[in-house]
Amino acid sequence: MAGGGGEAMIELAMVAFSLPFASTANS
């Protein structure tokens, strides 16, 4: 999936954004 550094940055951003959202959804 990740072929370049830019895509890797996007994946990291997705994870960083999904972490807080999942936490708020739980509580």
Residue 2 · residue 11 · CB < 8 Å: yes
pLDDT tens string 1-27: 556 667 888 888 888 888 887 667 665
Q: What is the pLDDT at residue 3?
A: 61
- Tokens 């951003």 correspond to 13
Q: What is the pLDDT at residue 26?
A: 63
Q: What is the pLDDT at residue 18?
A: 86
Q: What is the pLDDT at residue 6?
A: 79
Amino acid, single-letter form, for residue 24: T
Which tokens in the block code for residue 18?
A: 């999904």
